[in-house]
Amino acid sequence: MARPYQPSLLRGLHGITALLVLACWGSGLVVYSRYDGRWGRLPFELGGDWIDLHGSLGVALWPLALLFGLYSLSLGVRRLRQPANAAALLALGLAVGTGKLMQEDWLRQGQLQHLAYGLHLLAWLVIGAAVLAHLAAVLARGGRPLARSMFSLRQRSGDQPRDWPGQIRRHFRSSS
């Protein structure tokens, strides 16, 4: 079977988004444990301003998630026929969207009753489950070679960063 290959623009957007999602998920867990903890807490305490860190990661994530979403809905739309890919994208939208409705001071002031916070907590669970399902589906479909293809640094000729504007133009020309 041919070695799977992912377009470099997809790998760039997907890789940075995935790293930021994982960092947001982990820092969100620390914030929940310290300021909420209604359903349990981490068995350790970490120093530092984790609300600030989580918020900064979220600020970095949303423009990338927007670009990645635009890519997925246009050049990458065929990959969204895989339900687990579509679910990961929807979960990303939910997490980023509800995060934008949050106000930093709510948790510091013990205000846990806001609907936006409840939805953001739910989004944290949903994106965790969606990413696990996405990973399981990738491994079931193409095993490690498919999973690795998303993080490979190999670039085919005609698929370098300087080729991205042409790839985008060709996509929109051929679909109009």
Q: Which residues contribute to the site for ligand HEM (CB under 6 A)? A: 6, 10, 14, 17-18, 21-22, 72, 76, 79-80, 82, 85, 88-89, 92, 131, 134-135, 138, 146-147, 149-150
Distance CA 37, CA 20 (A): 23
Distance CA 156, CA 145 (A): 17
Q: Which is nearer to ligand HEM, 54 or 107 (CB)?
A: 54
Kindly state the smallest distance separating residue 64's Cβ from ligand HEM, in Å: 10
Are residues 67 and 13 in contact, defined by beta-carbon separation less than 8 angstroms?
Answer: yes
Structure tokens at 48: 């530092």
Kindly state the smallest distance separating residue 21's Cβ from ligand HEM, in Å: 4
- Give the 3-state secondary structure percentages of the chain, helix then strand then coil, rounded to 5: 75, 0, 25
Kindly state the smallest distance separating residue 156's Cβ from ligand HEM, in Å: 16
DSSP string, 105-164: HHHHTT----HHHHHHHHHHHHHHHHHHHHHHHHHHHHHHHHHHHTT-----TT-SGGGH
Q: Which is nearer to ligand HEM, 24 or 107 (CB)?
A: 24
Kindly state the smallest distance separating residue 120's Cβ from ligand HEM, in Å: 16
Q: Which is nearer to ligand HEM, 7 or 107 (CB)?
A: 7
Q: Which residue is nearest to ligand HEM (CB)?
A: 76
Kindly state the smallest distance separating residue 67's Cβ from ligand HEM, in Å: 12
Q: Which is nearer to ligand HEM, 19 or 59 (CB)?
A: 19
Q: Which is nearer to ligand HEM, 21 or 123 (CB)?
A: 21
Are residues 99 and 58 in contact, defined by beta-carbon separation less than 8 angstroms?
Answer: yes
